[in-house]
Amino acid sequence: MLATWLGAAVWGLSPAAQAEPLAAPAARARIDVIQLNGLIDPIEADFVHHALTQSARGGAIVLVVQLSSTAGVISPSRLAALGAAIRQSPVPVAVWVGPNGSRAYGAAYAVLANAQLRGVAPGSRIGHSTPGVPHPVEGRTLNATQAVAQGAATINAPTLGDFIVDLDGQTVDTGSGPTVLHTAQVVTGSNGEPRRQPTVDTRFRKITLLQQLLHTDASPSVAYLLLVIGLLLAVLEFFTAGIGIAAACGAVALFLSSYGLGVLPLRPWALALILIGIFGFCIDLQAGVPRAWTGIGAVCLILGTLRLFEHVSMSPLAVVGGVLGTALFMLAGMPAMVRARFSTPTIGRASMIGEMGVALAALAPEGTVEVRGAPWRARTNRATPIGAGDAIRVVAIDGLLLEVEPESGGAREAHH
């Protein structure tokens, strides 16, 4: 009690006045914001459903979707269910196509068209609607001004902040009747001129790290490059007989690629061509010199790459990188690595001509021999096959392939 009276004396308050609790500031309304970028895939469709549920539970007055996408890779039935969820949501959904230069085509346009409030940033375009989508824009696109004029959008806003402010005064149907949104108020700026500022708290919702990884894998360019990298690492492990690091990394790349290939509109025959292309390179890599299979592999790889997906396309940089990188790896990188892995240090390969060795496996006409304590791929031009364990002599070198012949009288004399 004494402390109460002392506090009152210091601050000039009566004990009764000090005991009165201060009035809590009025709680500000809240809006939720999510972003949809890239292809509309199952990950992002589920994310929208989850955001609608969480916004309703959290008491948000509106869910804002920042949208930039040129296509979708979900089924028509799933796209229709997503549109119905947006239309029937107890929390109003406002979609803004932005920032400047963004696009909302196909499935993305369906997300926009089903929202109660629609905004487009200057420089962005919408259109190429899918069948059955409200406000169809078939075979053409609209800029921000045209979209507002034709009713495909309601707000032309250059930034997300402007879009949120422009939601103020908009009438929406929340299921319990029309409701007017209040997201901004007019204040006097430092220059004395009135301006509007937001009166709501904004909370950004994001997908998890794993979901973001899978969504990235569903990009055509990423899925293709992961496929090629995984296959090349498997080839590296097979030919160099390493300690398994390349195989493990290749398995991870192929696993991640499999999700993207499963989601994207894949052409199975094009995937088969890519596999045949890699196999063709491997045949001539085994032979030691580029021959017909290298050309066949290159053609199959190019055709498979260009026709791998339907309705969606890869970036030109990914196409060039995948094809050219594979050719350089198989024609230049792999021979050098195989040479370094299995050959022994010499002044020059020509010094091996005349060397004696032993056949590790039957040569009929190709097989494996051991020369200078290291295994080599070898070929004999003799009509008589060389059996495993037979002595051989190196007579020529063709790339990474040794040309050998059975130990003859002259070779036997040189050997002894």
Residues 400 and 322 occupy one common structural domain: no
Query: Final residue of a domain: which of 342, 371, 386?
Result: 342
Our count of domains for the chain comes to 3
* Separation of alpha carbons 168 and 162, rounded Å: 10
The residue among 179 and 146 whose pLDDT is bigger is 146
Segment 392-410 mean pLDDT: 79
- Per the listing, tokens 């060795």 go with 357
Q: How far apart are CA 16 and CA 2, in angstroms?
A: 14
Residue 60 lies in a domain: yes
Q: Which of 207, 242, 260 finishes a domain?
A: 207
Residue 8: inside a domain: no
Tell me: the pLDDT tens digits for 315-348?
999 999 999 999 998 888 887 777 666 555 544 5
pLDDT score, position 26: 53
- Across all residues in the chain, what is the average pLDDT? 83
For 129-152, write each residue's pLDDT tens digit: 766 555 556 678 899 999 898 888
CA neighbours closer than 13 Å in the CB half-sphere of residue 109:
27
b/e code 308-342 from CB counts within 10 Å (16+ = b): bbeebebeeebbebbbeebbebbeeebbeebeeeb
Inside any domain, residue 98: yes
**Residue 412: its pLDDT value, please?**
44
User: What is the spatial distance between Cα 88 and Cα 155, in angstroms, rounded to a whole number?
Assistant: 21
Same domain flag for 195 and 72: yes
Which of these three, 177, 207, 237, is where a domain ends? 207
Range name among 82-96, 101-115, 261-275, 370-384 with the lowest pLDDT average? 370-384
**How many C-beta atoms surround the C-beta of residue 204 within 10 A?**
10
What is the rounded CA–CA span in Å between residue 127 and residue 141?
4
Are 335 and 354 members of one domain? no
Return the residue matching tokens 């997908």.
207
Q: For residues 233 and 245, is the Cβ–Cβ distance under 8 A? A: no
pLDDT tens digit sequence for 32-72: 999 999 899 999 999 999 999 999 898 899 999 999 998 88
For residues 186 and 131, membership in a common domain is answered with: yes
Q: Is residue 3 a part of any domain in this protein?
A: no
Query: Which whole number is the average pLDDT over 307-318?
Result: 91
Q: Are residues 395 and 380 in the same domain?
A: yes
Q: Is a pLDDT exceeding 70 seen at residue 10?
A: no
Tens-digit pLDDT profile for residues 14-24: 444 444 444 44
Q: Which of 186-200, 247-261, 357-371 has the highest mean pLDDT?
A: 247-261
Higher local confidence (pLDDT), 96 or 408: 96
Helices 245-263 and 209-217: crossing angle, nearest 10°?
80
Query: Does the pLDDT of residue 192 top 80, yes or no?
Result: no
Same domain, 107 and 40: yes
- Domain holding 391, by residue range, is 349-415
* pLDDT at residue 266, as a whole number: 93
21 occurs within a structural domain: no
